[in-house]
């Protein structure tokens, strides 16, 4: 897969996140009764509502982290493999999705509500960040073990 295609897919995922957030504003949808709803929720904090009502600080931290990732990608584009690139793009897309909310709304819109167990409401951007971070962790662990086997 070409890295430009990954960037296009990332842009589509960001657009999807924003479109769904717009659709769920003031709406609730039951997708699977008793299990999965799309329920509009405002989150002024970070993951799981931590650090609530510190929007400016959260925006600044978000911008710094996204800037570091972008700088890393620019400087290492030819050195990183596709899986690492995909993981970083997912984290970027998720970060930008939630940053857009914080800047223009003062909060993040969460909407995926799993009713089967008590789990915080989340959004597509959160999924992108989580999946990207898990993939990146796997890549780092794999690289660590490959490096140690060669020594």
2-48: pLDDT as tens digits: 999 999 999 999 999 999 999 999 888 898 998 999 999 998 877 65
Q: Answer whether residue 36 is part of any domain.
A: yes
Residue 63 CA to its chain's centroid (Å): 14
- Burial tier of 75 (Cβ tally within 10 Å: 0-12, 13-18, 19+): exposed
Q: Answer whether residue 11 is part of any domain.
A: yes
Digit-coded pLDDT (tens) for 35-88: 999 999 998 877 655 566 678 888 999 999 999 999 999 999 989 999 999 999
- pTM score, two decimals? 0.89
Q: Which residues are catalytic?
A: 110, 126
Helix H or strand E segment including 80 = none
Q: Answer whether residue 70 is part of any domain.
A: yes
Q: Answer whether residue 12 is part of any domain.
A: yes
Mean pLDDT, range 110-119, rounded to an integer: 89
Q: Answer whether residue 151 is part of any domain.
A: no
Mark out the alpha helices in the chain (DSSP H runs). Answer: 3-24, 55-76, 82-105, 124-150
- Burial tier of 47 (Cβ tally within 10 Å: 0-12, 13-18, 19+): middle
Q: How many domains does the chain have?
A: 1
**Host domain of residue 102:** 3-145
């Amino acid at each position: 897969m070409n890295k430009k295609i990954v960037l296009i897919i990332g842009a589509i995922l960001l657009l999807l996140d924003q479109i769904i957030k717009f659709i769920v504003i003031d709406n609730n949808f039951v997708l699977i009764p008793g299990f999965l709803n799309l329920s509009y929720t405002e989150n002024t904090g970070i993951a799981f509502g931590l650090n609530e009502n510190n929007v400016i600080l959260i925006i600044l931290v978000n911008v710094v982290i996204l800037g570091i990732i972008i700088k890393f990608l620019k400087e290492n584009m030819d050195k990183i493999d596709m899986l690492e690139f995909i993981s970083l793009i997912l984290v970027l897309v998720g970060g930008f999705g939630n940053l857009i909310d914080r800047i223009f709304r003062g909060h993040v819109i969460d909407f995926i509500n799993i009713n089967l167990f008590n789990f915080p409401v989340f959004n597509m951007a959160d999924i992108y960040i989580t999946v990207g971070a898990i993939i990146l962790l796997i890549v780092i662990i794999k690289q660590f073990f490959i490096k140690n086997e060669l020594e």
